[in-house]
Structure 1
Amino acid sequence: MLSLRHATAAASVALSLVFCGPVVAQTPAPAGAASDVDPSTVVARVGDKEVTLGELMVMRSQLPAQYQQVPLEAIYEPMLNRAVDQILITRAARASGIADQDEVKAKIEEAADQVIAEAYLTQTIASEVTEDALRKRYEEAVAGQTGEEEAKARHILLDSEEDAQAVIAELNDGAEFTKLAAEKSTGPSAAQGGDLGWFQAGQMVPEFSAAAFALEPGTYTKEPVKSQFGWHVILLEEKRTADAPSFEDMHDQLTAEMTRELIQARLEKLRGDTKIERFGPTGKPLVPAE
């Protein structure tokens, strides 16, 4: 006999197959499935239970990413069928008395705990992560800051120090750097005349960055620069100071940081207000780490 976990997984696969098949068929939507329709519009009745367009849109938001990109018209009917099927299966399951089984009760309680915890965090923590709070945090983070220094450079990558010395000799005699890079460089940028574009120091290996940022614009290294990739001859074309990141660029990072800090603070308070005992696998009390 299948365990509940295996049976649930099998049922989920079956429902997914029922749903995914029509998606591939690109079933057109009937009238009334347009995005400007009121979410409260009733799109199905299953006995005495109604399904609204808003519920279908929530279902769509929970689909795998590839299906969320599909136009609504292409997935409307299979989503509607899935919503109807879910109601039918749930009713049949409740009528069977399966909800009274201990294992099912435990899973229902576990799911309820998760929903309640998420709602709690949404209504407490998330409500504190406002745009005003994020913008204040942003201003504090970037106050007085300037962006990092960036360099625009080209390089010629060679297999040996002797080859690199020979290239430098040609440059000293007036050879064009771009042409030599295209002819002699073993690196992937050879086709672009050795062009590496703009980069910050941390984006290159230390030996390369140190040599590149030490140059004056328009000059090249007079000695070969060794790195794990080989021997470099570097031409610095320009330097600039990048702008500090914008609020929009940092929005997601600031949100994550602030949310994490608020949750941690809330947990510390809850821990302090509650007696907590921890035990190892043998049941022996764990000694708190100092």
Structure 2
Amino acid sequence: MKEKQNLRTQIMHGIAAAAVLSMLVSPAFGAQVPATAPGAHATLPAGVVARVNGVAIAQSEVDAAVRQSGQADTPALRTSLKNQLIARELFRQVAQKQHYDTHADVKAGIEQAKAMLMMQAYLRDAIKPTPVTDADVKAKYDAIVASLGQNEYKPSGIMVKDAATAKTVLDQLKKGGDFAQLAKQYSQGPSAAQGGTLNWVSFKTPIVEGQTQGWPKPVAEALVKLPQGAVSSEPIQVGDAFWILRVDQMRPTQIPTFDQSRAQLRKELEQVAAAKATAQVVTDLVKSAHIEK
């Protein structure tokens, strides 16, 4: 019963929040906020766009709200966002006046937010990824180019977990079944929802273990042997999984220039460096901690 009450409370809070948000973003809301509140001075200090019971709302707050909105910066948007900030300040003031800051759930939320901000600040200082140099980016580019073959392939794949299901899929394909629909129905691979469609890929032949861009070697070997439009005649087993491939398109390998690839490669290398640095911080903390499970 208590769980049902909690769920009902959450739903009602969600409905209330949605109603408030809908009101704030509606064009009619702007008309409900007067340009100058009764008793307020018409002239505001530089950098202040509004005052709510003496509390200033800065121009910088509106600027930040515009950036966060992701919308085109227009006078109408700025007016709408300013009115939302006014409403938010009104809500804050009345909640504080009625001592909502003493409510248990508010205190718990403040503590959670405080803990999250502390962790984020600590991680910004503690995680020191190894800087990615221009030489690192060029080396990564050269390694990728060296791993590419003469042709590249746009495949689709169906990955299942047992031989019987693989046979069922192949039998249906041989009877004219739609590959994409069968992928959505049977595949447990990462692109099942997209009908098994996979990204363009190229392998230098003969296939060498560790130079297959993350593909299992048996699958890469089977792929380069298939002509365009063909489906693998037998399931390709990789551990406990069974793959069925189709080559949707094939073309001579198209290699982007280094300048075209530089930004993306740098981003990927920086992500790897950040992950390594984070893992090292966690390892060091675990070693010095007393953890009971």
- In structure 2, the CA distance between the partners of 1:136 and 1:43, relative to structure 1 (3 Å rule), is farther
Structure 2, unaligned runs of 5 or more: 36-45, 154-178, 180-198, 204-214, 234-243
**Aligned partners of 2:143 and 2:16: how far apart in 1?**
57
Q: TM-score, normalised by structure 2?
A: 0.54
- Letter of the 2:275 counterpart: R
**Deviation of residue 101 (structure 1)?**
1.9
* Aligned with 2:108 (options 94, 106, 109): 106
Q: Does 1:46 align with 2:52?
A: yes
- Letter of the 1:51 counterpart: I
Q: How does 1:219-238 map to 2 (within 5 A)?
A: 226-227=231-232, 238=252
**Deviation of residue 261 (structure 1)?**
1.8
- Letter of the 1:265 counterpart: Q
Percent of aligned positions that are identical: 16
Q: How does 1:1-290 map to 2 (within 5 A)?
A: 5-6=10-11, 8-22=13-27, 41-63=47-69, 68-125=70-127, 128-129=128-129, 132-133=131-132, 135=134, 137-139=136-138, 141-142=140-141, 146-147=145-146, 148-151=148-151, 200-201=201-202, 207=222, 209-211=224-226, 226-227=231-232, 238=252, 243=257, 246-278=261-293
Structure 1, unaligned runs of 5 or more: 31-39, 154-186, 188-197, 213-220, 279-290
2:158 aligns with: none
The superposition leaves residues 152-195 of structure 1 with CA deviations (integer Å, 9 ceiling, x where unpaired) of: 79xxxxxxxxxxxxxxxxxxxxxxxxxxxxxxxxx9xxxxxxxx
**Aligned partners of 1:12 and 1:85: how far apart in 2?**
13
| Paired positions, count | 205
**Deviation of residue 211 (structure 1)?**
4.4
The superposition leaves residues 233-283 of structure 1 with CA deviations (integer Å, 9 ceiling, x where unpaired) of: x9x8745666567321223322322222222211222222221222xxxxx
- In structure 2, the CA distance between the partners of 1:145 and 1:96, relative to structure 1 (3 Å rule), is same
**Aligned partners of 1:9 and 1:273: how far apart in 2?**
42
- Secondary structure class of the residue paired with 1:266: helix
- Letter of the 2:81 counterpart: M
- Secondary structure class of the residue paired with 2:280: helix
- In structure 2, the CA distance between the partners of 1:225 and 1:7, relative to structure 1 (3 Å rule), is closer
- Letter of the 2:55 counterpart: K
Larger-gyration structure (1/2):
1
Q: CA RMSD in A?
A: 4.5
**Aligned partners of 1:248 and 1:100: how far apart in 2?**
49
The superposition leaves residues 26-56 of structure 1 with CA deviations (integer Å, 9 ceiling, x where unpaired) of: xxxx9xxxxxxxxx82222222322222222
